[in-house]
């Protein structure tokens, strides 16, 4: 590389043989005549990894994907210009060469010789097509803002600019030129993220529904889709057209789709799964202490947060003081100690510890007196003497239900109110939040790259991408725009601190805890990569 620009993500967990698992098909051991322990011969059959997706992936289209379930499937079946390596640092992948201009605003990617899973050649035109497709307002990609770093990207996405003015151009089949709005030190991390993946232009132009079924799905990644029985199972097989196929050791990944956490763990203990829990499944919280005591549990901190979003356009949460009152009245320590039990850290700010600008946070835990005072003031401002019915919405999960029940009880005791609970399956739930059809909604956010802007920019625009709160603040927006142009890192951090202070004062979300990945796995599973942000990659995985 011309510049030392692969610097931000260095912390990675490569899963090894440290844990003893309960999954089946492990090699047995015995003793030879000298009493020495011997390993039984390893299986010579296909290497198959069996995992659970807690819910049906809403999409297998990288331009549309916005959740961890879809992201895992897309990351396995596609390859970006760069890919996070086993050391957590982005490396050349679909691009074999990357050149960066001295001012850091122009990138030239040389596309390596590679094929799509259907045998078509992967070209620079596929990348240009995919990025402009994601930015096209007609695509309605909630992650389009990730491409705003590209010159003209935001203007096109907002209907204020032309597609031909977007700063990505295939000079020829093997050369992609990219011009950025401003120098972006983490840009090569972004090109490893799925919104920046290519789309087979010919396939998409001939069939807009290509990503909905295994028979028509086309990718350029380590694996290809073999079967997709919706809401039942999804199988991936090794993609023999992948440019780095010799690195890929797994022959197949079999995903079940089991929403019930106890069933998932039971299947693992019966040997029907090789892995139970995060980042794709969920362990029942009641089982976590026993698994931990048995030495079968891995707890992996991630740059992610669990929070409750407020719909700031629906009463009573159109009042900031009422939002803060409900946020302050949550006992986070009790939730992580008694409900989640997975080493989570109570959250008192928006940004996780890996990128915090105010590590001590903005309020104290379980501040009932402060909450009551804020509620009284907020209701007076809103001109109401009683609260309307309050409903917490969450997607189907026993753990989400238990957290909601705990907060329901805490708010009952703090404010003497009854709170309703409402759950729906994942895809329907996402649609409800995006449509503003909720009052308080559970959600989490995992960093796409390790920089505060990745959290803060989500709430920059009222109708921007994943901002389901409908909150917007002109000063907050101004500070984030300034940050994109500030090259001095200390001044940039100061802008972020000022922006987060505004956000936490108006409280469009109630932070609850910083998340961890908690799971148990068979000791025959090797090389599954979970990085510092919680992304999972199966490229280097194997079964021994």
Q: Choose among 159, 135, 136, 137: nearest CA to 145.
A: 135
Q: What is the pLDDT of residue 429?
A: 94
pLDDT band at 45 (very low <50, low <70, confident <90, very high): confident
Task: Encode pLDDT of 411-445 as tens digits.
Answer: 999 999 999 999 999 889 999 999 999 999 999 98
pLDDT of residue 38: 36
Task: For residue range 193-214, list pLDDT tens digits in order.
Answer: 999 999 999 999 999 999 999 9
Q: What is the rounded average pLDDT of the residues 251-256?
A: 98
DSSP 336: I
User: Widest CA span of the chain, in angstroms?
Assistant: 86
Residue 325's contacts (CB-CB under 8 Å, 6 or more residues apart) are: 371, 372, 374, 375, 378, 415
Mean pLDDT of 526-539: 90
pLDDT band at 477 (very low <50, low <70, confident <90, very high): very high
Residue tagged 């009880």 (tokens): 409
**Mean pLDDT over residues 381-392, rounded?**
96
- The residue written with tokens 């380590």 in the block is 222
The pLDDT assigned to 304 comes to 92
- Residue 11 is predicted with a pLDDT of 34
Q: Please answer whether residues 523 and 26 qualify as being in contact, where contact means their C-beta atoms are separated by less than 8 angstroms.
A: yes
Specify the pLDDT at position 5. 31
- Average confidence score pLDDT of the chain: 90
Residue 485's pLDDT is: 83
More confident residue, 19 or 158: 158
Percent of the chain with pLDDT over 90: 83
Closest CA to 130 of 91, 76, 83, 166: 166
Q: What pLDDT score was predicted for residue 302?
A: 87
Per-residue confidence band for 463, with pLDDT thresholds at 50, 70 and 90: confident
- In this structure, of 226-240, 253-267, 452-466, the range with the lowest mean pLDDT score is 452-466
pLDDT at 41 over 60: no
pLDDT of 535 reads 87
**Cβ(255)–Cβ(235) below 8 Å:** yes
In order of their start, the domains of the chain are 12-253+522-543 (3.90.76.10), 300-517 (3.10.105.10)
pLDDT at residue 2 tops 60? no
User: What pLDDT was estimated at residue 465?
Assistant: 67
Query: 22 or 50, which is more confident?
Result: 50
Between 512 and 43, residue with greater pLDDT: 512
| Residues whose CB falls within 8 Å of the CB of residue 274, separated by 6 or more in sequence, listed in order | 21, 23, 49, 50, 51, 268, 521, 522, 524, 525, 543
List the one residue out of 74, 72, 49, 48 whose CA is nearest residue 61: 74
Q: Rounded distance, CA 72 to CA 248, Å?
A: 16
What is the pLDDT averaged over residues 148-173? 97
What's the pLDDT score for residue 403? 97
Q: Is the pLDDT of residue 31 over 80?
A: no
Residue 45 vs residue 309, higher pLDDT? 309
Secondary structure (DSSP) of 19-59: S----SSPPPEEE-TTS-EEEPPPP-S--EEEEEESS--S-
DSSP 143-195: TGGGGTTBTTHHHHHTTSS-GGGSSEEEEETTEEEEEBSS--TTHHHHTTSGG
The predicted model gives 71-78 an average pLDDT of 97
Q: What is the dihedral of CA 102, 103, 105, 111, to 10 degrees?
A: 0
Confidence of residue 333 (pLDDT cuts 50, 70, 90): very high
Query: Which residues lie closer than 8 Å to 476 by C-beta, 6 or more apart?
Result: 459, 460, 499, 502, 503
| pLDDT band for position 320 (cuts 50, 70, 90) | very high
- The residue ranking higher by pLDDT, 402 or 10, is 402
Residue that is written with structure tokens 């600008």 in the block: 357
What average pLDDT does the segment 236-252 reach? 98
Give the integer Cα–Cα distance in Å for 517 and 533.
10
CA angle 437, 477, 5 (to 5 degrees): 110
What's the pLDDT band for 487 if we cut at 50, 70, 90?
A: confident
Statement: residue 7 has pLDDT above 70 = no
Residue pair 243/113 in contact (Cβ under 8 Å)? The answer is: yes
22 has a pLDDT exceeding 90: no
Does 20 score more than 80 pLDDT? no
């Amino acid at each position: 590389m011309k510049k030392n620009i692969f610097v931000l993500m260095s912390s990675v967990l490569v899963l090894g043989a440290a844990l003893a698992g309960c999954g089946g098909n492990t090699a047995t051991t015995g003793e030879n005549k000298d009493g020495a322990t011997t390993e039984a011969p390893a299986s010579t059959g296909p290497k198959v990894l069996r995992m659970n997706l807690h819910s049906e992936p809403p999409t297998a289209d990288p331009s549309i994907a916005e959740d961890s379930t879809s992201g895992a499937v897309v990351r396995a079946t596609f390859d970006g210009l760069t890919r996070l390596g086993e050391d957590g640092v982005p490396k050349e992948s679909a691009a074999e060469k990357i050149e960066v201009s001295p001012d850091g605003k122009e990138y030239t990617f040389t596309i390596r010789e590679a094929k799509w899973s259907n045998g078509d050649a992967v070209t620079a035109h596929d990348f240009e097509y995919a990025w402009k497709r994601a930015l096209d307002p007609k695509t309605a990609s909630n992650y389009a803002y990730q491409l705003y770093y590209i010159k003209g990207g935001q203007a096109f996405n907002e209907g204020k600019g032309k597609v031909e003015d977007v700063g990505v151009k295939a000079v020829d089949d093997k050369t992609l030129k990219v011009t950025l709005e401003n120098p972006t030190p983490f840009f090569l991390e972004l090109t490893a993220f799925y919104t920046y993946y290519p789309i087979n232009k010919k396939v998409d132009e001939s069939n807009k529904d290509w990503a909905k079924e295994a028979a028509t799905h086309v990718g350029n990644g380590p694996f290809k889709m073999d079967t997709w029985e919706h809401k039942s199972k999804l199988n991936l097989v090794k993609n023999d057209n992948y440019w780095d196929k010799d690195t890929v050791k797994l022959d197949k990944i079999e995903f079940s789709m089991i929403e019930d956490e106890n069933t998932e763990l039971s299947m693992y203990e019966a040997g029907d799964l090789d892995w139970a829990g995060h980042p794709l499944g969920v362990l029942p919280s009641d089982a976590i202490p026993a698994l931990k005591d048995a030495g079968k549990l891995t707890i992996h901190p991630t740059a992610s947060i669990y929070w409750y979003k407020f719909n700031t356009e629906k009463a009573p949460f159109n009042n900031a003081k009422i939002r803060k009152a409900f946020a302050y009245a949550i006992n986070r320590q009790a939730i992580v100690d008694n409900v989640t039990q997975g080493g989570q850290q109570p959250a008192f700010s928006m940004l996780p510890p890996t990128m915090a600008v105010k590590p001590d946070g903005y309020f104290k835990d379980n501040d009932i007196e402060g909450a009551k005072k804020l509620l009284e003031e907020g209701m007076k401002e809103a001109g109401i003497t009683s609260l309307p019915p309050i409903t917490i919405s969450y997607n189907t999960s026993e753990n989400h239900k238990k957290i909601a029940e705990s907060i329901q009880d805490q708010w009952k005791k703090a404010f003497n109110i009854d709170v309703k609970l409402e759950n729906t399956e994942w895809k329907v739930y996402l649609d409800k939040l995006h449509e503003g059809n909720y009052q308080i909604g559970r959600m989490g956010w995992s960093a796409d790259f390790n920089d505060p802007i990745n959290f803060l920019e989500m709430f920059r625009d009222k109708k921007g991408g994943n901002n389901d709160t409908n909150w917007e603040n002109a000063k907050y927006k101004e500070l984030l725009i300034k940050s994109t142009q500030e090259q001095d890192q200390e001044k940039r951090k100061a802008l972020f601190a000022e922006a987060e202070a505004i956000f936490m004062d108006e409280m469009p979300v109630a932070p609850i805890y910083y998340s961890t990945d908690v799971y148990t796995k068979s000791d025959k599973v090797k090389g599954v990569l979970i990085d510092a942000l919680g992304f999972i990659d199966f490229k280097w995985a194997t079964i021994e």
